[in-house]
Amino acid sequence: MMTTNEILRAAAQEKQILAAADTDTRNRALLAMADCLLEDAARILAANAEDVEAARGRISDVMIDRLLLNEARIAAMADGIREVAALPDPVGRILSRSVRPNGLIVEKTAVPFGVIAIIYESRPNVTSDAAALAVKSGNACVLRGGRDAFHSANAITTALRRGLARVGLPENLVSMVQDTDRASARELMTAVGLVDLLIPRGGAGLIRTCVENATVPCIETGTGICHVYIDAAAEVPMALDIIENAKTSRPSVCNAAEVCLVHSAVAAEFLPKMKKRLVEDRAAAGKTPVELRLDPRAAAIIPGTAAGADDFDTEFLDYVLAVRVVDSVEEATAHIAAHSTGHSEAIVTADDRVAAAFTARVNSAAVYVNASTRFTDGGEFGLGCEMGISTQKLHARGPMGLEELTTYQYIIRGCGQTR
Amino acid sequence: MMTTNEILRAAAQEKQILAAADTDTRNRALLAMADCLLEDAARILAANAEDVEAARGRISDVMIDRLLLNEARIAAMADGIREVAALPDPVGRILSRSVRPNGLIVEKTAVPFGVIAIIYESRPNVTSDAAALAVKSGNACVLRGGRDAFHSANAITTALRRGLARVGLPENLVSMVQDTDRASARELMTAVGLVDLLIPRGGAGLIRTCVENATVPCIETGTGICHVYIDAAAEVPMALDIIENAKTSRPSVCNAAEVCLVHSAVAAEFLPKMKKRLVEDRAAAGKTPVELRLDPRAAAIIPGTAAGADDFDTEFLDYVLAVRVVDSVEEATAHIAAHSTGHSEAIVTADDRVAAAFTARVNSAAVYVNASTRFTDGGEFGLGCEMGISTQKLHARGPMGLEELTTYQYIIRGCGQTR
């Protein structure tokens, strides 16, 4: 068994082989990885059964379901890898080219980072998704999964490594750290010179730990306290559709709305209708009603729980919505500036000038006019895939596709120029 | 006097005003800043005299000269600001646009970071250069200069702030931290939520301190252990011109070469000629000869100091060159991978296949074929200006111009779409 340091050194030593591999080689590797995943299905399912057995009683049924693999889910993972193979190659793109007066040809060229470390939690399919995106973008990857999916992730990694070997690439280009303790995560965060990029994918605690402790380049992903602002000029039926979708279509994900800001001019009409839609209609349909946490002005219009001190700074990831009444788009955007995590915010308005004020003042990664925050996603943006959603401003913002997994390099060709 | 925290809070609070200002307002602010710099020349020169007086005897004459201002240097600073005003606006560029099948219009738009903090050392003109680039790119800036230039930098900042006020912008968009102790630098490095980007400009010690301690997004700049590899297929006269230029044209800067790698097939011819050019010819012309630090194979061909353990890992910034003989381009690129800071490397060769192997294997920010490393510079690359040279892979690599001082944001326009 290799130690984490040995795994990192092997990846760093061999990363250049993948970086220099041509498009066809990387795509053939991906197809072989998909084949091997299917060939190894029985072994992967056996490993997964071991994980599920160990996890029962320790984690919730919802989490058990996320952990559970079957033939269909393995097939979906293989299909996911093949889809990545079919995407355009992000490596080697000429981002700009200029011929200088002295004859130097300066080309800005997309190149891989080198070694990408990915720290994630329980879903086994993240293993194959992340490895596929790394290989496609010419990067070696070192994966560090959660304890619950340890055997599953290892079996998947073994299959992926067989795929690399089948096309003559080193197996160490995709590796799985063999410890799931905190020390192994710390080791990845501080492996200066070995890890070229660290991407944590998981809950707010993991992200915070990485951002605070990483001395290697790190991209903060995922935490989303997303706001929907219902302007005075909003069409109320559209506003109801958008807040319902943003809050309830999948409350556990980062692009779900956590806060609704409502202009005072429309609050008396909108809030009772919103309460009917999110609370009563859902209860009547046998769905989980949304718990509304109201600021005093909203509470003067509709009944609900009084919002506590933290309710406007919490990523609920649940059927809970904090509600505040504001008097202007300026007050709304000031609230967002003070409380947002910079992920996604939406305005519902029929007034183009108010929409323009909102988009100019909100500096989150994604700003929506008359659409749900739920669209912040690599697939929905047309990127074809996604490694996570960046909530930082350096390098990548919002959904990170293949292009965001590359950096660039200047290559300058001359004929003896000196300065 | 405002504390560092008050300065940061003021910048963070008012950054949105500059981000929302149009191109014309930002350009008029720059021209007013240039005017005020000239109007305040007497005050700036008086402050500078105070700095020079205090520094005499404490710092070298070379450093005193870097610190010294006069009418011509102030005029050059004002001209520099006007040149920045004339550059294209980096803010608001549409980087990509797509209309999705559901009708959503997704625009990736260049936007300012917000507040950029810049920690630098003694040259007073960095104050006006950095402030001009920040204002042009829509960013508020908080400057923290070195002790030696404190009064000069403050007088310059006062002039620049008057320029902002003259066009109706808040003065706090350009501020100077009033402490030059370590605590003030630490405060900038850890001002999470207030500083959107930290750029250290200075020596290796400052850069390392920032990279190790910053919890805000930081761009590593400047340290350059640059290599020139003389291939077996090099034209020797071109190789001599390039190594002379890379080493001696300005040895104190980061894009100067520190290491020469020579293919064994050409070493017996090249090394004696290099020694003549860099040592004897320079001495005969009354110039400082280059001290050669030789690995054993080079030392078997020419006389010189034996290279010590650290000589291949040192940014000399002086008339010193470490020399090593290698047997192949692979050995050269392996040496570079092990010892480079990722800044700039060059190959001299007439063989296109060797050149391609070199550019594919070296992953530094700038890779040259048959040209001097000294060209790694915003002006030389056609960027029009430069905030520093990034040696990291995240966000920006190589010379950072105005575009690199922006991030992006997705703005999505719909008509009620839900997911």
pLDDT at B123: 82
DSSP conformation class of A384: S
DSSP conformation class of A315: -
pLDDT at B211: 83
Sort strands A257-263 and A226-230 into parallel, antiparallel or unpaired. Answer: parallel
pLDDT at B204: 81
Nearest CB among B242, B368, B409 relative to A363 is that of B409
Nearest CB among A98, A217, A242 relative to B392 is that of A217
Q: Assign A114 to helix, strand or coil.
A: coil
- Give the C-alpha separation, A164 to A174, whole Å: 8
Average pLDDT score over residue span B109-123: 93
Query: Is B226 a residue whose pLDDT tops 90?
Result: yes
DSSP A59-126: B-HHHHHHH---HHHHHHHHHHHHHHHHSPP-TT-EEEEEE-TTS-EEEEEEEE-SEEEEE--S-THH
Distance of CA B281 to the CA centre of its chain: 32
pLDDT at A124: 87
- Give the C-alpha separation, B353 to B232, whole Å: 12
**Residue with structure tokens 């340890």?**
A150
DSSP conformation class of B332: H
Nearest CB among A366, A370, A407 relative to B416 is that of A370
pLDDT mean values, one per 10 residues, chain A (419 residues): 94 94 97 98 98 91 88 96 96 96 97 96 88 98 94 97 98 94 91 94 85 89 93 98 97 95 98 98 97 98 95 95 98 96 97 96 96 96 90 94 96 97
User: To the nearest whole angstrom, how far is the Cα of B73 from the nearest Cα of chain A?
Assistant: 23
Q: Is A98 close to B382, i.e. CB distance below 8 A?
A: yes
Neighbours of A233 (CB within 10 A): 18
- Give the C-alpha separation, B310 to B322, whole Å: 10
- Give the C-alpha separation, B410 to A57, whole Å: 42
Query: Is B86 a residue whose pLDDT tops 80?
Result: yes
pLDDT at B118: 96
pTM (two decimals) = 0.92
- Find chain B residues with C-beta within 8 A of A409's C-beta: 363-367, 397-398
DSSP B93-133: -EEEEEE-TTS-EEEEEEEE-SEEEEE--S-THHHHHHHHH
Chain B residue with the nearest C-alpha to that of A102? B380
Please report which confidence band the pLDDT of residue B50 belongs to, taking 50, 70 and 90 as the band edges.
very high
8 Å CB contact between B19 and A393: no
8 Å CB contact between B18 and B113: no
- Give the C-alpha separation, B179 to B194, whole Å: 18
Distance of CA A8 to the CA centre of its chain: 24
Residue from A380, A391, A393 whose CB has the most chain B CBs within 10 Å, to mutate:
A393
Kindly report the three-state secondary structure assignment for every residue of B200-229.
ECCCHHHHHHHHHHCCCCECCECCCCEEEE
Token pair for residue B232?
A: 């077996």
B286–chain A Cβ distance below 8 A for any pair: no
B219–chain A Cβ distance below 8 A for any pair: yes
- Give the C-alpha separation, B107 to A369, whole Å: 12
A113–chain B Cβ distance below 8 A for any pair: yes
Query: Is B222 a residue whose pLDDT tops 80?
Result: no
- Give the C-alpha separation, B156 to A223, whole Å: 41
Residue from B17, B363, B389 whose CB has the most chain A CBs within 10 Å, to mutate:
B363
pLDDT at B385: 84
List the 169-188 stretch of A: residues with Cβ below 8 A of B: none
B86–chain A Cβ distance below 8 A for any pair: no
Query: Is B124 a residue whose pLDDT tops 90?
Result: no
Q: Is A410 close to B365, i.e. CB distance below 8 A?
A: yes
pLDDT at A57: 87
pLDDT at B360: 92
- Find chain A residues with C-beta within 8 A of B390's C-beta: none
pLDDT at A306: 97
A236–chain B Cβ distance below 8 A for any pair: no
- Find chain B residues with C-beta within 8 A of A225's C-beta: none
